[in-house]
């Protein structure tokens, strides 16, 4: 016999498929927010969804505000809005007695009420809040998490409530800890809400809800958690209008639904702008520091990475990603595939980043709740997280959430650094604080965000690798910053890497992939190859001017070569070229083209005769310019022919002028944010270095006095004189020095001779005086005259050949010759950088490169090409 159904049973099929019933039995719609909350009572735990201003149930919050009888609320929310907005209103009406939140942010009312004892605050990591709500929704009373282990959240030292005098009235409770698989965790108890106030995009009469863009955040977990969930929706729709697969919050969790009122607000309206604008920080010096940090930080990204970025400098770093390198940005508020900032008119209140700024979505992006977002993070699915810091210890402890007397909140940082074994933690920060105190310490003095979690520190001065057992290793230094300076500004001890490198400053030399730089063939002499490769070796000329460079063998006759140069120009600070004016235009490598790719680029054109003028299209070499513009005419013996200077002095002075102008343009860019075109030419620089000789002609209006050999046209005696076995140069450039010379020549009477009593007289009678001096100097050897003049105060010098110069005791004592290891030629001697700095150690960091020696690594590291792509370019002859 069949068992009868209970009388109260009503088959679901009868309700679902009946077409004669005009109205559904279940209808959770309310006419207003006051009606929806009419049963709400005080002394309750209320879960309030939203993140920043996104997904905040403002209509319901306003209704609670208008019920002054609802007091003594414990509110769980990521943050508490702003003064006069969102939950900020309930703080001001003092309806909230306790907040469970992760972030105070810029809400000064919130911060003041907490610090003055008017409000209890249980600061909780953002991911833990999300998981506490999700676990409670699933009926799980507690769970273990690595987030906040080793911090004051775990030890129970976090102030929950202050007294009026600022003393601590109540602290948090210590958390139970346990080890699983060699890793430490703490026990978090789940949250069980009495009420949840939730914001949805769409809701139907049954209570099914759909979220839009980043609205999900805490709304889903909180909506599923509470005993009584009230939803306000932008759009109330008929049952069935939301596709089953698009329902995020199911009707079983929802008690009431109302129409959301009022316009959506945006907390931080942010539009797309040039990275240089985002880097600006007051002074040009501060901007330069930020730029150095951000550009170096961008090098940490590798193709295919999943990355989470903190607010501030980390968020700017993707702007400097090389072409072809793709990383997927994850945001704690439920976005995978975060895009850049929107253009004006494209902003969306429902789409913000963790910094509350308006953003866009990248191709292939996905959206979800905060509980799932932090699940990804804690599980180590994120390859790298980059965030700022107040302090970092020598073993990688991180402090970045609390200063004495100031509280911003923990946010999501404790979760982000909770799995350093799988997620690399990179810190970007200035090396010292505003008072000049080091931010890298033996131990952090501020409360920890996470213990022994930092993998790398990038500052404006240096890059440190961090080991939780070995401590700090200095891996890179900023250009011009010495190890001693870094030590003086780093409170923690550190080791120096054997292969210490510069942070950013590098020179990429673009060479023809077959011939290379012309100077490679300017020999002999050559430093011969010792590794068996073909050829005579590397020319001494080439070796003299190409140290500290990397070689990229590339042909821009190929369109793909031009594309590579465009990408390099986009990423670099300075481009130097020495082609005839307008000849690069056909390759789209001229200034007008390049400046649109990178408006901040300093583009220096070095030519023979400049970008304008009747000779501008002439090719120019040093000796031609020496001849054309006066130097050869002034060089040589008195009655001899014009002579070329012994080294390419016009080339060298032009290089120095170019270097100075580049540095000046970089300083200007720090103020204006704009690059510029520098027109530097041999002819102009040669005219400028005529110096006093050029000025003499301009002032007198007469022809110059011609060649003077080693003598000076306006100062006597000031030249080389023969000795018994060579030559010696003396400079009696004023009356006092001339007097010393007379004494040392044992001719004191010359000082009183009217013919030599002043420089004017000595110039007028120079032939007589010069003959008299040489008659005396010829009596002794050069070495004997050295001994006589030494210590007298008279400027003098022996005339040495080049080998004698390189072996000179003073040259050696000043470290002007050093030996470096060349990859193919073995140990070679080279001339050192000439300037000594008190706070820096300029060095020859790398030998002059072989042709194309760095092609592979430049295209891979800087441009972001794969090895297979590089091989393809090599086979086409684009690179070598």
The residues annotated as belonging to the active site are 332
Residues 6+ away with beta carbon under 8 Å from 876: 558, 560
Assess contact for 526 and 534: CB atoms under 8 A: no
Assess contact for 455 and 398: CB atoms under 8 A: no
Element of type H or E holding 415: helix 413-416
Helix ranges (H only) for 299-345 are 313-316
How far is it, in rounded angstroms, from Cα 618 to Cα 609?
Answer: 7
Of 219, 216, 171, 164, residue with least CA distance to 196: 219
DSSP code per residue over 637-650 = -TTS-----SS-HH
How far is it, in rounded angstroms, from Cα 153 to Cα 123?
Answer: 8
Q: Tokens at residue 333, please?
A: 């508020």
Three-class SS state of 458: strand
Cis status, amide bond into 772, omega within 30 of 0 = no
Cis status, amide bond into 717, omega within 30 of 0 = yes
How far is it, in rounded angstroms, from Cα 123 to Cα 135?
Answer: 19
Of 325, 311, 417, 414, residue with least CA distance to 355: 311
CA dihedral over 637, 640, 644, 646, signed as positive or negative: negative
DSSP conformational letter for 858: I
Element of type H or E holding 721: strand 718-722
Cis status, amide bond into 524, omega within 30 of 0 = yes
How far is it, in rounded angstroms, from Cα 479 to Cα 461?
Answer: 8
**Cα–Cα distances in Å, from 587 out to 582, 591, 611?**
10, 11, 18
How far is it, in rounded angstroms, from Cα 116 to Cα 166?
Answer: 6
Three-class SS state of 417: coil
DSSP conformational letter for 718: E
CA dihedral 575, 476, 385, 357 (to 10 degrees): -40
Assess contact for 261 and 234: CB atoms under 8 A: no
Of 300, 319, 332, residue with least CA distance to 424: 300
Assess contact for 543 and 519: CB atoms under 8 A: no
Residue holding tokens 């003499």?
A: 696
The pair phi, psi for residue 860, each rounded to 5°, is -80, -50
CA dihedral over 532, 535, 536, 537, signed as positive or negative: negative
Q: Tokens at residue 160, please?
A: 């929950």
877: left (phi over 0), alpha (psi -120 to 50) or beta: left
How far is it, in rounded angstroms, from Cα 714 to Cα 210?
Answer: 91
CB contact burial 94-111 (16+ within 10 A = b; e otherwise): ebbbbbbbbbbbebebbb
Beta pairing partners, 466: 472
How far is it, in rounded angstroms, from Cα 880 to Cα 874?
Answer: 6
Q: Tokens at residue 279, please?
A: 């880097």
CA dihedral over 587, 590, 593, 598, signed as positive or negative: positive
Q: Using only the alpha carbons of the chain, give its radius of gyration.
A: 38
How far is it, in rounded angstroms, from Cα 201 to Cα 218?
Answer: 14
């Amino acid at each position: 016999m069949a068992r009868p159904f209970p009388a109260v049973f009503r088959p679901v099929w009868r309700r679902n498929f009946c077409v004669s019933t005009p109205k559904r039995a279940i209808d959770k719609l309310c006419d207003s927010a006051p009606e929806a909350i009419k049963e709400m009572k005080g002394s309750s735990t209320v879960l309030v969804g939203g993140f920043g201003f996104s997904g905040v149930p403002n209509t319901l919050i306003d209704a609670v505000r208008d019920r002054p009888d609802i007091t003594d609320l414990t509110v769980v929310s990521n943050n508490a809005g702003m003064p006069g907005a969102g939950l900020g209103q309930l703080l001001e009406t003092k309806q909230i007695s306790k907040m469970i939140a992760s972030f105070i942010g810029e809400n000064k009312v919130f911060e003041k009420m907490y610090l003055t004892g008017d409000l209890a605050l249980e600061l909780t990591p953002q991911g833990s809040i999300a998981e506490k709500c999700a676990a409670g929704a699933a009926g799980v009373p507690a769970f273990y998490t690595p987030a906040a282990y080793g911090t004051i959240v775990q030890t129970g030292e976090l102030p929950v409530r202050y007294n009026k005098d600022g003393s601590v009235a109540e602290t948090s409770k210590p958390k139970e800890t346990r080890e699983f698989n060699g890793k430490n965790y703490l026990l978090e108890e789940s949250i069980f809400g009495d009420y949840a106030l939730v914001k949805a995009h769409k809701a139907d009469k049954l209570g099914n809800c759909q979220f839009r863009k980043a609205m999900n955040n805490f709304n889903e977990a909180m909506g599923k958690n509470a005993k009584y969930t009230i939803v306000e929706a932008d759009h109330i729709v008929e049952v069935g209008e939301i596709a089953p697969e698009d329902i995020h919050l199911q009707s079983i969790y929802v008690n009431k639904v109302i129409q959301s009122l009022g316009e959506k607000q945006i907390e931080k309206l942010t539009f797309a702008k040039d990275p240089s604008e985002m880097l600006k920080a007051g002074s040009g010096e501060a901007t330069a520091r930020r730029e150095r940090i951000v550009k170096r930080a961008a090098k940490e990204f590798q193709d295919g990475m999943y990355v989470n970025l903190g607010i501030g400098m980390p968020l700017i770093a993707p702007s400097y990603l090389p072409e072809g390198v793709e990383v997927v940005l994850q945001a704690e508020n439920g976005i995978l595939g975060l895009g850049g900032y929107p253009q004006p008119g494209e902003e969306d209140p429902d789409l913000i980043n963790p910094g509350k700024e308006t953003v866009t979505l990248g191709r292939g992006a996905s959206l979800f709740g905060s509980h799932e977002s932090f699940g990804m993070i804690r599980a180590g699915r994120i390859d790298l997280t980059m965030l700022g810091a107040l302090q970092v210890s020598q073993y990688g402890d991180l402090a970045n959430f609390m200063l004495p007397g100031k509280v911003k909140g923990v946010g999501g940082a404790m979760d982000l650094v909770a799995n350093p074994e799988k997620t690399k933690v990179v810190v970007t920060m200035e090396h010292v604080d505003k008072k000049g105190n080091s931010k890298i310490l033996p131990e952090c003095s501020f409360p920890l965000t996470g213990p022994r979690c930092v993998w790398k520190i990038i500052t404006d001065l240096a890059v440190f690798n961090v080991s939780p057992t070995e401590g700090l290793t200095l891996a890179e230094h900023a250009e011009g910053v010495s190890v001693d300076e870094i030590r003086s500004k780093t409170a923690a001890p550190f080791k120096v890497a054997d292969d210490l490198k510069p942070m950013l400053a590098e020179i990429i030399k673009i060479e023809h992939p077959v011939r290379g730089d012309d100077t490679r063939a300017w020999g002999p002499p050559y430093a011969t190859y010792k590794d068996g490769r073909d050829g005579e070796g590397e020319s001494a000329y080439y070796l003299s001017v190409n140290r500290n460079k990397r070689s990229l063998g590339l042909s821009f006759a190929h369109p793909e070569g031009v594309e590579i140069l465009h990408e390099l120009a986009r990423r670099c600070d300075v481009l130097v070229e020495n082609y005839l004016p307008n000849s690069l235009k056909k390759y789209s490598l001229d200034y007008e083209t390049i400046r649109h790719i990178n408006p901040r680029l300093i583009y220096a054109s070095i030519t023979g005769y400049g970008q304008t003028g009747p000779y501008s299209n002439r090719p120019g070499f040093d000796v031609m310019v020496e001849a054309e513009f006066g130097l050869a005419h002034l060089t040589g013996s008195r009655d001899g022919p014009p002579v070329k200077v012994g080294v390419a002095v016009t080339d060298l002075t032009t290089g120095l002028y170019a270097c100075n102008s580049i540095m000046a343009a970089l300083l200007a860019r720090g103020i204006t944010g704009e690059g510029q075109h520098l027109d530097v030419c041999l002819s102009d620089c040669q005219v400028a270095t005529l110096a006093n000789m050029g000025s003499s002609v301009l002032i007198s209006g007469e022809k110059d006095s011609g060649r003077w050999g080693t003598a000076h046209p306006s100062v006597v005696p000031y030249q080389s004189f023969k000795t018994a076995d060579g030559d010696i140069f003396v400079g009696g450039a004023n009356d006092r020095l001339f007097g010393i010379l007379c004494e040392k020549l044992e001719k004191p009477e010359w000082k009183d001779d009217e013919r030599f009593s002043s420089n004017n007289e000595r110039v007028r009678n120079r032939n007589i005086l010069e003959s008299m001096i040489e008659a005396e100097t010829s009596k002794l050897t050069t070495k004997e005259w050295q001994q006589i003049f030494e210590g007298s105060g008279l400027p003098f010098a022996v005339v040495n050949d080049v080998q004698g110069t390189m072996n000179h005791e003073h040259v050696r004592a000043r470290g002007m010759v050093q030996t470096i290891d060349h990859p193919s030629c073995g140990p070679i001697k080279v001339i050192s950088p000439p300037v000594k700095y008190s706070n820096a150690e300029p060095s020859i960091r790398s030998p002059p490169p072989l042709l194309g020696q760095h092609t592979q690594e430049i295209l891979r590291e800087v441009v972001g090409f794969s090895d297979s792509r590089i091989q393809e370019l090599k086979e086409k002859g684009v690179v070598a």
